[in-house]
Structure 1
Amino acid sequence: MSKKLLIREIFEKGKKESGRDSKSGIALYLSLYFYDEWKFEISERTFVRYYDSFLIDNEDKNIDSQTLDKLSQYLEFKDYKDFCNTATLTKENPDSSFTSVKVSIDDDSDSDKKHPNITVNITTNPILKLQEFFAKQSGFGIIGILIFGGFLTNNYLKKEETPVAKFAEIKDSIVSDDNVPKENSNASEIKIIPIEVIVNKEEDKEEKMQCMFWTGKEYMPAHCSETPNGLIALDMKLVNNFKKITTPDTITSIKNIWYSKHQNVVEFFTADGVNPENGKALQKLSEHMFDKYIRKNGE
């Protein structure tokens, strides 16, 4: 449950920060962000697999602890354990106001306690009564109860000896202002009814990538509706074969190497075409150019 919630929150944040709507577009943004920010490599394809496994196929996928910690840090948590002990759900209302529910669990403060300390913070802007909020925002209310009920039950109520009820009937009379949990309440003061969570699978409605952009080293596919500067028509031949050689000293022969010279700057590429950064046509690497700019520099 925690890993599924982690992946969902990461893609939600990635969607807001990147301005992209497609799964692969967000995955590409996340991959580039993790490498630029922490030099931590998680490929676009890996992010897509996480999304498919947890959010579409509803399957659990093994993720190593180092990656879980780094994913949690992207959401501004200390590590994955900190993420598991703290969860937040936010509902944006039609009038642009929002309501958030945050649950923090501290199970290390007192080893003699049977249950951990649970802090529940409910923030509404503008301030609404809890009963009015659940009435008007029924979608969030039900989902919030289901997720938090399942989350807390799976992680902290496994020691109960009595059988756990699988279903609960929620009546309007139960929800009132008097039932709002207070901050720093103990688990014994909060009654949590475990409920099975049923997640509906959504169809993956992705538009086909028909554009691409230059990253400085290679061409990357993109949706034409996305925002990267310099979007051009997709050419898979260029995507697969056209790369900038950033370490010329690794070139050992003139075979299948092209170059451009502009303002005394020589750059090398793995295929014919034009230099995406200055529009200059590329030339086939000759023995003379190889001796002058590569072999001579390597000696």
Structure 2
Amino acid sequence: MKEILFQQAFKKAKQQSGKTSKNGVSSHLENVFAMKLNFQTSKVTFSRYYEQFMEGKTGKIMNPSTGLLDKLAEYIGYNSYEDFVTQLDQKDTPTRVSFLKFARKSKWFIIITLLALVTVFIIIKLNKQRWMVWNLTHYEEVQFDLEKYELGQLKLYKEERIKNFKKIEVDCQTEYKTPEGTIKIWYGKNHKKELQYFTSLGLHPETGNSLKPLSKYMFEEHICIKESSNSNKN
């Protein structure tokens, strides 16, 4: 309130005196207050208030006396500083009341609107992402699909997954490790508890469980032994 009071007083002083400088306006107020309002305040004091309330300088903060506030209010047409504050509040009250009434009556409308805006923002952001989906034996890039996203089928696009992660069939001829001993095949079970084999480390596309490296034991126990057994039956 004090800031508004000083700003209005300095604005009126500029209009009355035709001066726009800090010193010119301050000198004018010094004379007006002494001659017409019978209140002594130096132009230096007005200059400091001008710097504080008009220029926004944050040096030494000055607190005006009640007497000065009353005379400033009188200068711009009010009975006192209290009268200035009361009338200013009354001017603002209808706007605040109208807004509060609207907010109360339209509470659900505002909430729904905000939720809609948030949803739109999220969808726009999701659409900017690149996505991929598992297609039986490999990942492929697709456009964003809200239904698939909600079902957990969409994954964030990873070029390495697209190029190197495949589901393959293995047999006794499969080279599951390099000559140096580095594993080339990983395995995991699907929802039916069936073993499946993949060309790269990662998560099983259906279950999300971590794949394991194919060991010599697993290779001989679950791949070659079955092939040998089938041959013996025949």
TM-score (norm 1): 0.30
Larger CA Rg, structure 1 vs 2: 2
Write 1 or 2 for the structure with the bigger share of strand.
1
Higher RCO, Cα 8 Å, sep 6+: 1
> Higher helix fraction: Structure 1 or Structure 2?
2
TM score, norm. by length of structure 2: 0.38
